[in-house]
A and B are shown apart, each in its own frame.
Chain A
Amino acid sequence: AQKVTQAQTEISVVEKEDVTLDCVYETRDTTYYLFWYKQPPSGELVFLIRRNSFDEQNEISGRYSWNFQKSTSSFNFTITASQVVDSAVYFCALSEGAGGTSYGKLTFGQGTILTVHP
């Protein structure tokens, strides 16, 4: 069965520091998608990125970047020059299987609470 582990329960940084959130996954499938979501204090889930298992290119979007390494089954998320508005809970998630009974079901990690202090 698939599993997603976010070993960092809470991270606290000071504004402008860089911070990396770790995500390690387990799956038997060779085809799968990985996601990151942000949950700000208001509670909604904000989609950040979706990456398929065949695309190991790192991605950068403004201050956000993602490092996908199949060799270590990791999909880490880095925020550069963190800001107070980045304070939120961040979830990594996995959707596996092409065909069959996948149907887009997501398996989430436990979440990492990021607090950015001014």
Chain B
Amino acid sequence: NAGVTQTPKFRVLKTGQSMTLLCAQDMNHEYMYWYRQDPGMGLRLIHYSVGEGTTAKGEVPDGYNVSRLKKQNFLLGLESAAPSQTSVYFCASSYSPGQGSFAYGYTFGSGTRLTVV
């Protein structure tokens, strides 16, 4: 049981380049999330999804796009990378026994360290 898998684990981009981070979960979870971690700021929510085909903005969505075409995958895209997007990115998934209620089984991926130069 792999849980939540993030690829790649490391990446260096030049300013202006684009890339996609992939998050895959094998737990049949409805909810998926992308967070970024910066020193002294904890983790902040970028975007999230409450089901296949749905996405929503989190606290810091600017400069990112997401897609959830399949329930098990949640993609985070950077169309034109900027140095301010240098960060560690975490994907997570969870499920809920009832619509909109608390999430259970919260599981994080191992993170992607992205450097934009």
Contact = CB atoms under 8 A, between A and B. Distances in A.
Interface residues of A, number: 28
Interface stretch (A14-22, A56-64, A77-85, A102-110): A102-110
Given A43-B88, A98-B101, A105 B50 contact: no
**Interface size band for B:** 20 to 34
B58 to A, nearest CB: 7
Given A43-B88, A44-B111, A91-B43, A105 B48 contact: yes
Interface stretch (B20-28, B76-84, B102-110): B102-110
B31 interface: yes
Contacts of A98: 101-102
Contacts of A106: 33, 35, 43, 45, 92, 106
A95 interface: yes
Does more than half of chain A's interface fall in helix, strand or loop, or is it mixed?
A: loop
B44 to A, nearest CB: 7
A73 interface: no
Nearest to B96: A104
Nearest to B51: A103
A118 interface: no
Interface in A47-87: 47, 50
Interface in A6-55: 6, 9, 33, 35, 43-45, 47, 50
A101 B101 CA distance: 8
A22 to B, nearest CB: 14
Contacts of B106: 35, 47, 50, 104, 106
Given A104-B33, A111-B40, 17 more contacts: A43-B88, A44-B108, A44-B111, A97-B102, A99-B98, A99-B101, A102-B101, A102-B102, A102-B103, A103-B31, A103-B48, A104-B94, A105-B45, A106-B33, A108-B42, A108-B43, A108-B44
